[in-house]
Structure formats: structure tokens, C-alpha cells
Chains A and B, each alone.
Chain A
Amino acid sequence: MSEQKLQSQTVQTTGHAWDGDLQEYNNPLPVWWVYTFYATVVFALVYWTIYPSWPFGKGWIGGVSNITYVNSEGETKTHSWNTRALLMEDMNKATAAQKPYFDKISAMSYEQIAKDPEMSGFILSSGKALFADNCAPCHQAGGQGKIGFFPNLTDDDWLYGGSFNAIHETLMSGRRGYMPAFEEVLDGEQVDQLANYVASLSGMEHDAGKAAAGNVLFRSETAACYYCHTSEATGRKDMGAPNLTDNIWLWADVPAASSGEGKVAAIRGIIAGGLNKGVMPAWSGRLSPEQIKVLTVYVHELGGGQ
């Protein structure tokens, strides 16, 4: 049937003949296809005129489409269309929309921001996004931290202080924790005595005899624990030396140990090996002053701000 149909049409051939009689039909393209093709040619011409397209010498033809933006120096500039100029325009728009809030944040004190219901709403939503992007990988999604690694931000125990200013300083410049390894200056028995003393400070199960000896050692020049942790063992925030009396643990995984002995062993491990971790990066180069202020209030309001 199709053969009859083909024969009934007068289709031209390309004029080639192979093997004597093998011919090839020359079927023209459908009209709709041809016109679509012409339309794409016209589209390309229009596109080339509007947007950057052809290389020219050591540069290129910018096109007639322009983008006007204001840069960080406050200069208004007009540039031919490109994605980097488009980003400037986008950022200008976003900054303008947030300006009323950020102006207020810059002008208000931390206490005023925390008390103002409108501003604390803004802090809660923008701070949440900033926290998720930047802080949550270490301090975890809710700020609960990770024992052995990163401090809990939701309790009222602070290594470097929980006031607005202290949190701000921590965010701006970062922190670095350090405790010497005491196995280098003390023997195993002395480390064990200190561990029992530290356990007794939080009312945990301990050996009273060892704890008493540890108490003396704590204040001695041999161990000199009191230099950083103070003679009351309540710690020094200017050094990031933790309070040892509050039964809150970051480095020694005391909560995970099931027996009293295990808890003392966890403390012993830290005294013996020391710490050279607890690094918090500085954020002043990565986040804007306003963003850091938002985060300061957000972290303060997580529950433990002082």
C-alpha cells in the first residue's frame, strides 16, 4: 500500500545513482520546520544584540542590555548585562528590603533587641538560617553541642562567658582550647587522685581517700590546677578553663560511663592526655557585622544567655 502511495506522488530524487539503479528520494523539509528554523535565526540575532555574545579583539561585544547597581563604596554603576552584575542588583534589592531591620540592629543594644518583640522575631528567623548554615555542623541543629567535641549552647555553663559581649567576642575572633597533658609531670597515682577529687566536686561516686589527696594536689605547685580552674575549681572564663563543680561535661564523656569507676576514668583520661582542641573558627571574615550581631543575640537567646 505504501508503495502505491509513494508511486502516486511525484517525488524528486537527488539525482545520484549507485550500483547503476540505486536512487535516493529528495524529500524537502516540512514547512513548519523550515519556518521554525528561520525563527531561531531571528531569535539569535535579537539575543546577540541584547546580551554579551561575540568575542571582539581582546574583549567582547557587551550587548545593549544594562544593569545598574550600587557597589560597596556607594558608587552607582551601569554595566552591560552579566550574571555578576545581576548578582549586584539582586543583593541591592535584598539589602534594601532588610535595611530597616539591619539599621535597627546596628542602632540598638543587645538588650533592647532581645526585649523588642518585632526584632526578636526577626532574629529568630534570620538567626536560625545563619545558625543552620554556619554553626550547626559543630554545635548541632538545636545548639545542644556534642560531648567530647563542641560545647552545648543551650545551658547556662559557658567556657568563655555567656554575656552578649563575650559571645560576640567568641564569634568575631574564635577560640582555641588548651590544657597541658599532666601525665608528663604527674604519675598515674596522682592523676587518679585528681580525677577522684574532680568527681567529688560534682557529687559523683569517688574514693574519699584519693579525693582528699587530690584536693591537696589540686592546690599544689606540682599540678597547679588552680592556676586556670581557680582554687574554688569554678574555672576562669578569660582562659576558657571550665567550672569543675557543676556536673556539666564537655571533654570527659562522663554521662556515657555507666559506673562510678568509668566516670572517674573518663576524667582521668583528660587530666593525663590534656587537650589541644576545642577550636572555634573566627567568623569576622566570613560574616558581616550585622550577621554576627544577629547570631550573638540568637545564641544568647538559645537558653543560657547571661
Chain B
Amino acid sequence: MNINFKHEWIETNIGLMAVLTMLAISVGGLVEIAPLFFIDKTIEKVEGVRPYTPLEQRGRDIYIREGCYTCHSQMIRPFRDEKLRYGHYSLAAESQYDHPFQWGSKRTGPDLARVGGKYSNEWHVQHMVAPRSMVPESVMPNYPWLLSTPLDISDLSGRMKALRKVGVPYSLTQAEYEANVTKFGETVAKQLHIPDAQKNLIEQANFGNFDGDRSGISEMDALVAYLQVLGTMVDFSKYTDDAFVDNR
């Protein structure tokens, strides 16, 4: 105890104490988080997961803006009751292009990780405008303005460039585009090309007509397009039911 080390050095030197305190409390985080970046199996190797199209990405922005995540999680846990109600448990791979991810930690409403394709576009629109007209016991607020507010796409490429900075493979150059063709196929790669983002968004919105109104592109178009793709990228019929057991 009383060799050369003296507690007094730390206790009388606030700078040293701050550094040592930070080192001590970061140990817990480091040993739990850091290894995940080195372990091979952290992210499952599955086919089909791709970044969102410009329209879906704008829908996701609206999802975040309206605070949907405060009541809806996007994380199906590997429990029997959740599997029976929501479907296959969520994979890490499925949110690899989400920045930030929308896993959430509280469910006032149901989990939305696999809501894509479960209901028709029409149901989503009506449910967003007046939730209780579809689900009488719902406590969800009404979001009628989504239908009447035109989608702002003026800053679309800026938003995609920001995501590109944090690692989403949206392409700016021809070389990046070609890398995406190799990785995702041509159809998807075209959607990820930032210079064509506005054209792609308008095309997808007009073709899908998600809000049922062809007169313009509303925020509802984007949000429904986003909801309808959630959890649908991986085709689980290609995998055995224990294909991802080894990843944990």
C-alpha cells in the first residue's frame, strides 16, 4: 500500500483525477461494445438488405420528425410471443443502413419492424389521418397534415450526402454507382444514385401512388412508402428457421 504510490497525487490533482475517472468508467462500455466491431458474426450475412430509396428515406425522416419512435419500436426480439405476433426476429443486418437505427425501447403501439406489406396503403393513409376510425381502441394521435403537406424534396441530395458520409452507400460518382451495381444489382443501384435522386423519388411516388391521390407528392406518400418496405427486404423463406442462431 505504501510503496511509492500515493493516493494524495490523484486526490490533489483534479486533472489527473478526471482522466483516471474517465478511464475507469469507460472500461464497462469498452469491453461490451468494442468486441462487436471485431467479431465476424455481429452482422448476419443475408441477401436483400439495401439502403432506402430516396422516397423511403424521406418517409423515414418524417417518421423521425413526428416522433413515431417514441411509441413504436422496430425490434422484434427472439421470443415466441413476438415471433407469433410480428414475425421473424429482427436481424442486425436489417438495420445496417439505418442512421440512427429505430429499434426503440418502448412500445405504446405495436412493433413496426415487419409492418411492410401487412396492411394496404389505403389502410395506412386512413389510419394515419384518423387512427380510431380503423382501430377503435387506439390511442395514437391523428396525423392529418401528412396528407395535405407536399413533400419537400429540395434538400434531398443534401440529406443523402449526409447519410453517405456516415457510411450508407449512396453513390455520387460513376465508380461508386458501378460498385453498387455489383453489390445490389442495377435496379437498386439506380435508386441509390444521388444525382438522380429527385427523378427517382418522383417516379416511385407516382408509380406507387401511396396516398391514393395522384395530384401531387405528399408527406403521406413518403411515410407509407417507408412503412411498406419495413422488414420486407430479407426473404426468410430462403433460410432455415435456425439460420441465424449461430450469430449470437
CA distance A94 to B83 in the complex (A): 12
CA distance A200 to B74 in the complex (A): 51
Q: Nearest CB to that of A71 among chain B residues?
A: B242
CA distance A285 to B234 in the complex (A): 12
Q: In the complex the two chains form, is A72's CB within 8 Å of B245's CB?
A: no
Q: In the complex the two chains form, is B85's CB within 8 Å of A90's CB?
A: no
Q: Which residues of A contact B148 (CB under 8 A)?
A: none
CA distance A94 to B84 in the complex (A): 11
1/0 per residue, CB under 8 A from A, across B85-115: the answer is 1010100000000000000000000000000
CA distance A72 to B118 in the complex (A): 24
1/0 per residue, CB under 8 A from A, across B202-243: the answer is 000000010010000000000000000000000001001110
Q: In the complex the two chains form, is A285's CB within 8 Å of B237's CB?
A: yes
State which of A94, A146, A281 has its C-beta within 8 Å of the C-beta of B134.
Answer: A146
Question: Which of B41, B78, B89: most chain A CB closer than 10 A?
Answer: B78
Q: In the complex the two chains form, is A91's CB within 8 Å of B80's CB?
A: yes
Q: In the complex the two chains form, is B38's CB within 8 Å of A279's CB?
A: no
* B90 CB, min distance to chain A CBs, angstroms: 11
Q: Nearest CB to that of A279 among chain B residues?
A: B120
A226 within 8 A of B: no
Q: Which residues of B contact A58 (CB under 8 A)?
A: 38-40
State which of B85, B240, B244 has its C-beta within 8 Å of the C-beta of A73.
Answer: B240
Known: A84-B89, A91-B83. 20 other contacts (CB 8 A): A14-B7, A52-B248, A55-B35, A58-B40, A60-B39, A71-B241, A77-B245, A84-B242, A84-B247, A84-B248, A88-B241, A90-B79, A91-B80, A133-B84, A133-B85, A138-B123, A150-B123, A276-B212, A281-B117, A281-B118
Question: Which of B79, B122, B135, B244: most chain A CB closer than 10 A?
Answer: B122
Q: In the complex the two chains form, is A279's CB within 8 Å of B134's CB?
A: no
Q: In the complex the two chains form, is A83's CB within 8 Å of B248's CB?
A: yes
Q: A16-B8, A55-B35, A84-B78 are in contact. Are A281 and B83 (CB under 8 A)?
A: no
CA distance A137 to B85 in the complex (A): 13
B142 within 8 A of A: no
B152 within 8 A of A: no
CA distance A18 to B7 in the complex (A): 13
* B179 CB, min distance to chain A CBs, angstroms: 25
Q: In the complex the two chains form, is A55's CB within 8 Å of B248's CB?
A: no
B125-148, CB < 8 A from A: 126-127, 133-136
Q: In the complex the two chains form, is A279's CB within 8 Å of B122's CB?
A: yes
Q: A71-B240, A87-B78, A137-B123 are in contact. Are A55 and B39 (CB under 8 A)?
A: yes
A149 within 8 A of B: yes
Q: In the complex the two chains form, is B35's CB within 8 Å of A137's CB?
A: no
A60-105, CB < 8 A from B: 60, 69, 71-73, 77, 79, 82-88, 90-91, 94
Q: In the complex the two chains form, is B39's CB within 8 Å of A137's CB?
A: no
Q: Which residues of B contact A72 (CB under 8 A)?
A: 240-242
Q: Which residues of A contact B73 (CB under 8 A)?
A: none
Q: Which residues of A contact B41 (CB under 8 A)?
A: 59
Q: Which residues of A contact B78 (CB under 8 A)?
A: 83-84, 86-87
A302 within 8 A of B: no
A280 within 8 A of B: yes
Q: Which residues of A contact B89 (CB under 8 A)?
A: 84, 87
